[in-house]
């Protein structure tokens, strides 16, 4: 099925070429009407071909539908960067002109490559009755972060006074990831949900005897500091440190397109509390929500940081807002580390879930001296 979805998605090229060569299809309202019609036709196509053997999960239709639009996003990014031509000139003028910004171009590359691959992988696993829950949560976090920053940035940025009808085509891509995330969070988890002796043993160690978790907590504290600081910079804090950082390190935060400021505020008001919650989850055992939420957040941060880093380096960002040459390595390293930290947390939480399980009281557990006294034994070993 994933091969069929891939091949049918390439039909988007024919649709774009037809619209680009037909002046009647290039009016703003007509673009919206055709966009809605294409979404309906694509859905109806997959509904017809799966009518006799319907998918076990309705998210299949979302993945298949969005695979079609991934091709459109990839074409948009490549045409704006000059790699191809003849497909999207009309859309740049009368559709969504903000897709020509550096942030939107990098966003479209992510959607056209990373999301497209994830859709095909999830369709393959879904169609073969395999679990795709973890990958699905990463996708949901990625697409929701993508669209929430994108849509908000359009409204509050310099394009807010020139919103065309095609803007409303973004709404399904903002709302459906929320519905998809709810479905995925409510699906049964891949691994065990209750722990026994081993989980009880792992949870008996305090943080100081878990060096990996201790390192991750320190990284999270650093990420929280960086999040708070850049949020203050985006809010025009008069602090001297904020002024220096904005002028000498990341002037892109004040780009009038609005996306970087919106992203920093998203991180400040939503990401910062989540990072604090992850520290709690690494310190206090039995936080069963940790594996799911770390994956969801990791997807969102990976997408946002990709678009943010790429846009701050892209030629379409005017020189005064790009990363200064003398601070290039420091800013790039800080942003890459910031992007990686949530993924490291997610890998830790999903690879070994014993610390995050609810422990059942098994017969004889209280009588096993190595279970409740793990810290004591470690201290004796080191003495």
pLDDT tens, residue by residue, 282-298 = 998 888 899 999 999 99
The percent of residues above 70 in pLDDT, for the chain, comes to 92
Query: What does the pLDDT read at residue 207?
Result: 85
Q: Which tops the pLDDT comparison, 351 or 300?
A: 300
Q: Which tops the pLDDT comparison, 240 or 157?
A: 240
Structure tokens at 52: 């006799």
Find the range with the poorest average confidence among 136-140, 145-149, 316-320, 367-371.
367-371
Q: At residue 362, does pLDDT exceed 90?
A: no
Per-residue pLDDT of 223-271, as tens digits, reads: 999 999 999 999 989 999 999 999 999 999 998 888 999 999 999 999 9
Query: What does the pLDDT read at residue 195?
Result: 59
Average pLDDT along the chain: 88
Quote the CA–CA distance of 274 and 298 in Å, as a whole number: 11
pLDDT category of residue 380 using cuts at 50, 70 and 90: very low
Per-residue pLDDT of 323-345, as tens digits, reads: 988 899 999 999 999 999 999 99
Query: What does the pLDDT read at residue 167?
Result: 92
Q: Please, how many CA atoms are within 13 Å of residue 105, restricted to the half-sphere of its CB? A: 22
129 dihedral zone (left: phi>0; alpha: psi -120 to 50; beta): left
Per-residue pLDDT of 204-227, as tens digits, reads: 778 888 899 999 999 999 999 999
Burial track 253-262 (b if 16+ CB lie within 10 A, e otherwise): bebebbbbbb
Query: What does the pLDDT read at residue 190?
Result: 74
Structure tokens at 340: 């990686």
User: What crossing angle do the helices spanning 133-156 and 290-313 adopt, rounded to 10°?
Assistant: 40
Q: Give the mean pLDDT of 344-356.
A: 88
Query: What does the pLDDT read at residue 66?
Result: 95
pLDDT category of residue 382 using cuts at 50, 70 and 90: very low
Q: What are phi and psi of 368, to 5 degrees?
A: -90, 110
Report yes or no: 35 and 91 within 8 Å, Cβ to Cβ: no
Q: Which tops the pLDDT comparison, 276 or 359?
A: 276
pLDDT category of residue 375 using cuts at 50, 70 and 90: very low
Which residues face 194 on adjacent strands?
358
Q: Give the mean pLDDT of 41-62.
A: 90
Q: Which residue has the tokens 């799911």?
A: 292
- DSSP characters for 125-186? HHHTT---HHHHHHHHHHHHHHHHHHHHHHHHSTTTTS--GGGGGGHHHHHHHHHHHHHHHH
Q: Give the mean pLDDT of 140-154.
A: 94
Structure tokens at 215: 């390192």
Q: Which residue has the tokens 């479209």?
A: 108
Report yes or no: 135 and 121 within 8 Å, Cβ to Cβ: yes
Length of the chain: 383
Q: At residue 192, does pLDDT exceed 80?
A: no
pLDDT category of residue 194 using cuts at 50, 70 and 90: low
Q: At residue 369, does pLDDT exceed 60?
A: no
Find the range with the poorest average confidence among 157-171, 332-346, 350-364, 369-383.
369-383
166 burial (CB, 10 Å; 0-12 / 13-18 / 19+) is: buried
- DSSP characters for 189-243? PSS-SEE-HHHHHHHTS-GGG-HHHHHHHHHHHHHHHHHHHHHHHHTT---HHHH
Query: What does the pLDDT read at residue 361?
Result: 61
Strand-strand pairing, 358-359 and 194-195: parallel
Query: What does the pLDDT read at residue 373?
Result: 41
Quote the CA–CA distance of 146 and 149 in Å, as a whole number: 6
Q: Which tops the pLDDT comparison, 108 or 210?
A: 108
**What is the Cα gyration radius of the chain?**
24
């Amino acid at each position: 099925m994933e091969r069929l979805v891939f091949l049918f998605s390439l039909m988007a090229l024919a649709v774009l070429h037809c619209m680009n060569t037909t002046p009647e299809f290039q009016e703003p309202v007509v673009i919206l009407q055709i966009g809605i019609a294409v979404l309906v036709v694509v859905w109806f196509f997959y509904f017809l071909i799966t009518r006799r053997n319907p998918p076990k999960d309705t998210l299949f239709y979302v993945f298949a539908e969005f695979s079609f639009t991934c091709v459109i996003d990839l074409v948009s990014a490549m045409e704006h960067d000059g790699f191809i031509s003849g497909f999207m000139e009309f859309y740049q003028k009368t559709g969504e002109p903000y897709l020509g910004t550096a942030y939107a171009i990098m966003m479209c590359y992510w959607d056209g490559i990373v999301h497209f691959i994830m859709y095909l992988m999830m369709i393959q696993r879904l169609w073969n009755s395999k679990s795709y829950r973890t990958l699905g949560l990463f996708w949901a976090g990625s697409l929701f972060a993508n669209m929430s920053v994108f849509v908000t940035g359009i409204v509050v940025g310099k394009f807010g006074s020139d919103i065309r009808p095609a803007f409303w085509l973004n709404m399904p891509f903002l709302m459906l990831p929320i519905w998809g995330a709810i479905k995925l969070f409510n699906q049964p988890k891949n691994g065990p949900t209750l722990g026994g002796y081993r989980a009880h043993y792992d949870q008996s160690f305090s943080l100081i005897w878990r060096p990996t978790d201790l390192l991750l907590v320190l990284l999270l504290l650093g990420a929280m500091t960086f999040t708070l600081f850049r949020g203050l910079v985006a809010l025009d804090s008069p602090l001297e440190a904020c002024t220096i950082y904005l002028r000498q390190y990341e002037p892109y935060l004040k780009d009038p397109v609005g996306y970087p400021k919106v992203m920093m505020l998203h991180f400040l008001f939503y990401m910062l509390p989540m990072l604090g919650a992850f520290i709690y989850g690494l310190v206090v055992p039995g936080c069963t929500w940790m594996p799911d939420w770390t994956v969801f957040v990791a997807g969102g941060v990976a997408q946002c940081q990709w678009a943010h880093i790429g846009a701050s380096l892209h030629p379409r960002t005017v020189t005064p807002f790009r990363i200064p040459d003398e601070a290039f390595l420091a800013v790039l390293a800080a942003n890459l580390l910031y992007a990686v930290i949530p993924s490291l947390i997610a890998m830790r939480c999903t690879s070994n879930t014993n610390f995050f399980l609810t422990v059942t009281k098994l017969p004889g557990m209280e009588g096993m001296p190595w279970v409740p006294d793990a810290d004591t034994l470690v201290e004796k070993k080191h003495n």
